[in-house]
Amino acid sequence: MFAFLLRRLIWGALTLWVVVTVSFFLMRNVEGGPFDGERTLDPVIKANIERQYHLDWPLWKQYLQYVGPFNLDETSGIFSTKTVPAPDGTGEIENPDYREDVFGGVLAFDLGPSFKLKDYSVNDIIGQSLPVSVALGSIGLIWALLLGLTAGVASALQRGTGWDLSLRLVATFGIALPNFVIAGFLILLFAFNIDGLPVAGWGAPRHILLPSLALGAPFAAYIARLTRTGMLEVFSQDHIRTARAKGLPDHLVLFRHSLKGGLLPVVSYLGPAVAGILTGSLVIERLFGIPGTGSHFVNSALNRDYTLAMGVTILYTVLVYSLNTLVDLAYTLLDPRIKLEES
């Protein structure tokens, strides 16, 4: 177990470094910048702003170094500067907290300021928006598991019947339709025909029902198909036939002997599913006006907000890699025959 986790940690650090490096140079080579807009800035003003944020540095230096003035001062709530007002009000004195050319940044878990959201650091933005995205994704995953497992088990138990055909047809539609199409149908339905559930906003439990359902529905369809396939494979095994031959009730055969083995395909899918829910929430949060990390990521890409885009990219990379590792560990709990590679 320790060797497995250590190897995963090393590969995780290498993966994160590759993602950060590729993302950094791709963002810097895209046309436009964080200070370009419909109104063209005077070249001198633009040069001064870029100099303030050190965007005039060579790329290798921007990649390796991080400048201290972008740290948020905890007492004053503003970013540190080279000088601060003197306590007696007579002028300016050197700021003792000012740091310059500090190696690290990402390595120090300090992602710098947002270029567009003034007086906010990337850490602040992620800290405020991540709980919203986690809540949305968690409820979406619950919807996916609840609907998918129920439909998959029911379809397997009713194999060859009209119920089986109907459930498989619904699952096929769920797989074919992207979440933003499902979200559009829900918005049209509840905005113009059915009152009671809001189609935008955040703050109350009822705000989360529609976006989480739209987010989880396509994954519920995949889970339903995987569950049906896994359950049918388990039903054909010898120990299930033996249990039925001994006269065990159907519910004991299902919950005690069949379900754990039938869920293995679903467990292997949970890692990519959670990753898909995280990335899928980018669109859902925009459609439903939810102030989550996905909305900030979309805005950062549109605004060329380099630091915020980098921060969310790092966050998603760490989450996806960690969740896939947890899925591998969960395999050994569901099936003792599966062993972790220790070499």
Q: Which CA distances in Å does 154 have to 147, 221, 334?
A: 11, 13, 21
What is the model's pLDDT at position 71? Answer: 45
pLDDT of residue 35: 64
pLDDT score recorded for residue 124: 85
For 134-177, how does the pLDDT look when each residue is reduced to its tens digit (9 = 90+)? 888 889 989 999 999 888 888 887 888 888 899 889 888 888 88
Residues of the chain with pLDDT under 50: 66-79, 101-104, 343
CB atoms within 10 A of CB 213: 21
pLDDT of residue 146: 92
Domains and CATH numbers, the chain: 41-119 (no CATH), 122-334 (1.10.3720.10)
Task: Say whether pTM exceeds 0.85.
Answer: no
CA neighbor of 170 nearest in space, from 229, 218, 232, 230: 218
Q: 98-111: b or e for each residue (b if 16 or more CB lie within 10 Å)?
A: beeeeeebbeeebb
What is the structure's pLDDT at 162?
86
CB 124 within 8 A of CB 197: no
Q: Is 250 exposed, middle or buried (0-12, 13-18, 19+ CB in 10 A)?
A: exposed
Tokens of 154: 């029911």
